[in-house]
């Protein structure tokens, strides 16, 4: 078989597989925002609607808004469907993350950095352990995240952390404690989300400012789901999948596809930032 024909068939299989996994991600069962979350700031700018099935965060010139989970979780899988700020979102940041508290906190981050109309969002990811982060990877998405809801997931077990978008892995952070790399697995974390103004850095390094004539800016959330060792009003009974979840051959192929086509920054490639040598985890397989 000619090489070009073989590659075309492999690409078609991958596209079909990505489409199927996206549909699977969008069928997640819904939680209830009244039961599972508290508004943390923004007053009426954060609204729980449709009997607890929908939550919206708003940002205006005076304040953003945010929420956090009532429960803490220690390891698990977290899924949330989010529709991001549409139009000219430059200067805004929609953050969705897990975090513990204190100076040696752990944290697992999704942050969506807004941009001018027609330009792609930047999806910023990071992992903190014992108060230390500096493990940023950034991506553009292969779809418009403002047109419809998409599922953003964190699989967090004792072996690895997997970041997923519509059930497609975009990043894996592996537990390498055996070679001295701290890994977040001992501090329970809450789920947080916020919509706020960060026009001093968020878009093109702060060169593009928030256009307040477009306010209020709105991000929407639905279909929260958690599977964890903790008890929750929306915990799932079947926990075995996430506890040992890694990437099979198809998952590794999807991860490579995302990282080759859509990654725009990787701390593990930033030699100027680490002139004394890249962090030790950058030299090891992350699958």
Active site amino acids: 107, 111
Token pair belonging to 116: 């001018």
What's the angle, vertex CA 152, arms to CA 148 and CA 158, rounded to 5? 170
Alpha carbon 171 to chain centroid, angstroms:
10
- Please state at what angle helix 3-25 crosses helix 249-261, rounded to 10 degrees: 100
DSSP letter string, 41-87: E-GGGEEEEGGGTEEEEEE-SS--EEEEESS-BSSEEEEEEEEPPPS
- The per-residue b/e assignment along 176-203, b for 16 or more CB within 10 angstroms, e otherwise, is beeeebbbbbebbbbbbbbbbbbbeebb
Integer Cα distance of 74 and 184 in angstroms:
9
Handedness of CA 50, 52, 57, 58 (dihedral sign): positive
Q: How far is Cα 126 from Cα 115, in angstroms, rounded to an integer?
A: 20
d(CA 200, CA 130): 27
């Amino acid at each position: 078989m000619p090489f070009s024909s073989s590659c075309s068939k492999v690409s078609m299989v991958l596209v079909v597989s990505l489409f199927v996994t996206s549909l699977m991600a969008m069928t997640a069962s819904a939680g209830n925002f009244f039961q599972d979350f508290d508004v943390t700031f923004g007053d009426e700018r954060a609204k729980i609607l449709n009997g607890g099935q929908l939550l919206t965060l708003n940002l205006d010139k005076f304040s953003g808004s945010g929420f956090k989970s009532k429960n803490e979780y220690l390891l698990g899988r977290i899924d949330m469907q989010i529709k991001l700020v549409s139009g000219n979102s430059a200067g805004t940041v929609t953050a969705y993350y897990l975090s513990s508290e204190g100076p040696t906190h752990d944290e697992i981050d999704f942050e969506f950095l807004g941009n001018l109309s027609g330009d792609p969002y930047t999806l910023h990811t990071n992992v903190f352990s014992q108060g230390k982060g500096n493990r940023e990877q950034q991506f553009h998405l292969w779809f418009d995240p403002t047109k419809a809801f998409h599922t953003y997931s964190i699989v967090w077990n004792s072996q690895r952390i997997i970041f997923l978008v519509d059930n497609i892995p975009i990043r894996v952070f592996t537990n390498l404690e055996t070679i001295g790399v701290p890994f977040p697995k001992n501090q329970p974390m809450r789920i947080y989300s916020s919509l706020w103004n960060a026009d001093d850095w968020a878009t093109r390094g702060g060169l593009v400012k928030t256009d307040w004539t477009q306010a209020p800016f709105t991000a929407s959330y639905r279909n929260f789901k958690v599977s964890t060792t903790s008890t929750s009003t929306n915990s799932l009974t079947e926990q075995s999948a996430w506890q040992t979840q890694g990437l099979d051959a198809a998952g590794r192929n999807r991860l490579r596809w995302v990282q080759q086509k859509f990654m725009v920054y990787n701390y593990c490639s930033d030699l100027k930032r680490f002139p004394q040598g890249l962090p030790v985890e950058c030299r090891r397989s992350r699958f």
